[in-house]
Amino acid sequence: MKVTVSDIKADVGSLAGHVKPHIRQIKAAERVLEEGVKSGTIYDYQVSRVGDDIHLVMLHGSGEEASEVHRLAWDAFRAATEEAKKLGLYAAGQDLLKDAFSGNVKGMGPGVAEMEFEERRAEPVVIFMADKTSPSAFNLPLVRIYADPFYTSGLVIDERMHSGFYIDVLDQKEGEVYRFNLPEELYDMLALVGDVVRFSIKRVVSKDESIGTAAVVSAERLSHIAGKYVGKDDPVAIARGQSGLPAVGELLQPFMFPHLVPGWMRGSHVGPLYPCSVNDSNPTFFDGPPRVVAIGMMVKDKSFVGEEENPAPGHHVPVDYFAGKEFDYARNLAMQIAVYMRSHGPIMFERLPEEEMEYTTLKSVLERVLKGKRR
């Protein structure tokens, strides 16, 4: 049976800074998705969050870019925005850039990662939700997972992965997508994805056609869509695991290294990617450091399955992978790096180059200073 997993996410207002959604926003989104289950638009769902971003993880049979599923997500974010407005939350409706839905949420603000696949006998799915950074934050871990045998042993010792993967890369400036055949074209691909300002890995595809898509990233730049900066395009990546794909442990391992990503305070800095649990994902140090949370569920027929005793739509208990003490190692290292980076204050490269800064009016500051101080 073919199913589609869609994660449509947005920041539609948050509590006391860019920290976390209010529970009433989450409940409002859940009520809309519940109706979506009743009406048959989706089979199942789970609402989650990282930092101030609400993630609507949905299971359905309508394929990628299905307008009825996108509309449902849009309605859920509208409902959550209403709550944000009532409560006077910060930046209510931030990522909803249009007033009326027009067929597809792409280009309307929310981030979208979705993949349709033929369900295997056992189908573990891991959702990586990141806050205070951009889709290119996944470039480094995805290269390690799908193209580095020193990370993914399966590339060497599992016959089904031995021939490698295809990786699609989005040029966020021009909008073109490039496909690379890994491992043969690894160096060519790295020439692009090493530039985390311009290029983002968008999709990974198994060379085994019966498996299909291995991973997807919400690689659309909100700021480019809007024509001006309105919020950060905090990304999500979805990856399937096991049985011809990287084992879940291979998917998680690269996050033990808190690599530097663009984002953090005002979307204008460089900080380490801090792996943590959902509950620990409130960005509190200089609105960060940038966070990544990984949750896992099985897909079984028309349901998600988590740790709950009786799976019911919307009431799952996903595995929260980075909650464990193992990842204290990465968190401690990340905090050392975070403090080190912050010690540079406003001096690059802790601060991003001007053209890459997001939530800023530095341009007018510069104009005024350059004009007024010339001698």
* Residue nearer to ligand 13P on the CB measure, 109 or 164: 109
* Residue 95 interacts with Mg ion (CB under 5 A): yes or no: no
- Show the DSSP H helices in 23-130 as ranges: 23-38, 67-87
Pairing of strands 260-263, 269-272: antiparallel
* Residue 265 interacts with ligand 13P (CB under 6 A): yes or no: yes
* Residue 93 interacts with ligand 13P (CB under 6 A): yes or no: no
Q: Which of 106, 97, 47 is nearest to 76 (CA)?
A: 47
Q: Are 193 and 228 in contact (CB under 8 A)?
A: no
| Position of minimal CB gap to ligand 13P | 232
* Residue 359 interacts with ligand 13P (CB under 6 A): yes or no: yes
Q: Which does 272 bind (CB under 5 to 8 A by kind): ligand 13P, Mg ion, none?
A: none
**CA 307 from chain center: how many Å?**
23
* Residue nearer to ligand 13P on the CB measure, 232 or 240: 232
Judge whether 234 counts as a catalytic residue.
Answer: no
* Residue nearer to ligand 13P on the CB measure, 16 or 369: 16
- For the chain, where are the E strands, in sequence order? 2-10, 44-50, 53-60, 111-118, 124-131, 165-171, 177-181, 199-206, 213-217, 236-240, 260-263, 269-272, 274-275, 291-300, 303-305, 319-320
Q: Which does 359 bind (CB under 5 to 8 A by kind): Mg ion, ligand 13P, none?
A: ligand 13P
Pick out residues in 14-33 that bind Mg ion (CB under 5 A). 18
Q: Which of 11, 53, 287, 320 is catalytic?
A: 11
Q: Which of 179, 175, 339, 322 is nearest to 272 (CA)?
A: 339
Q: Which does 265 bind (CB under 5 to 8 A by kind): Mg ion, ligand 13P, none?
A: ligand 13P
Q: Which of 43, 45, 151, 229 is catalytic?
A: 229
Q: Which of 342, 339, 362, 361 is nearest to 350 (CA)?
A: 342
* Residue 83 interacts with ligand 13P (CB under 6 A): yes or no: no
Minimal distance, residue 293 CB to ligand 13P, in Å: 13
The DSSP-derived string for 6-39 is EEEEE---BBTTTTB--HHHHHHHHHHHHHHHHT
* Residue 12 interacts with ligand 13P (CB under 6 A): yes or no: no
Give the SS3 label for residue 350. coil
Structure token pair of residue 335: 């905090």
Q: Which of 297, 294, 321 is nearest to 125 (CA)?
A: 297
* Residue nearer to ligand 13P on the CB measure, 181 or 223: 223
Alpha carbons 38 and 341: distance in angstroms, whole number: 49
Minimal distance, residue 287 CB to ligand 13P, in Å: 4
Judge whether 340 counts as a catalytic residue.
Answer: no
Residue choice 5, 7, 10, 11 for contact with Mg ion (CB under 5 A): 11
Alpha carbons 195 and 200: distance in angstroms, whole number: 8
* Residue 114 interacts with ligand 13P (CB under 6 A): yes or no: no
Minimal distance, residue 258 CB to ligand 13P, in Å: 18
Judge whether 11 counts as a catalytic residue.
Answer: yes
* Residue 234 interacts with Mg ion (CB under 5 A): yes or no: yes
Contact residues: ligand 13P, CB under 6 A: 11, 18, 51-52, 131-132, 231-232, 234, 265-267, 287, 359
Active site residues: 11, 229, 232
